[in-house]
Amino acid sequence: MTPVASKRAVRDVFLDRDGTINRKAREGEYVTRWEHFEFLPGAVEAIRLLGEQRIRVFVVTNQRGVARGKMGEAQLAEIHARMLEHLRKEGAAVERVYHCPHEEASCDCRKPELGMFLQAQREHEGVDFSRAAVIGDSRGDIEAALRLGSLPVLVAGVGAGEQSADVRREPSLLSAVEWLIRQSAE
């Protein structure tokens, strides 16, 4: 089955954060301060390119480090504010950052659950998951995309070697966005 979004131009893109936009911390560790946040090569350009195509960008990120006491909501908000400011200065825009601060299996927002996506749909007019893509580096990102009927794009990450006709694989966010723009124009 081909995802519905691949049949029409994509209008909205939901991006994972860690491992997609920025370098992921080592297993069991978290990006808890801006000084530890490092954009992946091409990520800022990718987000800028989406904006140039009038494709809205939302960030949906699991941030279990809050539940585990590794950082507070204020620290996370500061990281996101500085990320958005850096992107803005580079001509790249994000509509909104949604985050899940909970442990696994304790809420309806932690990906692959759909709470963050549904909140974005409630808060932003015209979000149509059949005309959206979800780009991330984990099985949870891809599972959420498939449950939404959105186009799933896996960048490197966990399961990158697995084969499935329903999932597009790209080595980076920039190559994923370039592919998405090309296929949306067809």
Among candidate residues 16, 108, 137, 141, the one labeled active-site is: 16
What is the sign of the dihedral through the CA atoms of 123, 124, 129 and 133?
Answer: negative
Asked if 147 contacts 111 with a C-beta cutoff of 8 angstroms, the reply is no
Instruction: From 122, 123, 144, select the one nearest 135 (Cα to Cα).
Output: 144
Clarify whether 12 is annotated catalytic: no
Q: Which of 70, 60, 171 is nearest to 114 (CA)?
A: 60
Number of other CB atoms surrounding residue 60 within 10 Å? 25
- Round to whole Å and give the CA distance between 65 and 9: 35
Is residue 18 classed exposed, middle or buried when 0-12, 13-18 and 19+ CB atoms within 10 A define those classes?
Answer: buried
Lateral strand order in the sheet of 96-100 = 96-100, 56-62, 12-15, 132-136, 151-155, 168-170
Q: Among candidates 111, 101, 80, which has minimal Cα distance to 14? A: 111
Q: Is 166 a catalytic residue?
A: no
- Please pick, among 12, 18, 137, 141, the residue that the annotation labels catalytic: 18
Catalytic (active-site) positions: 16, 18
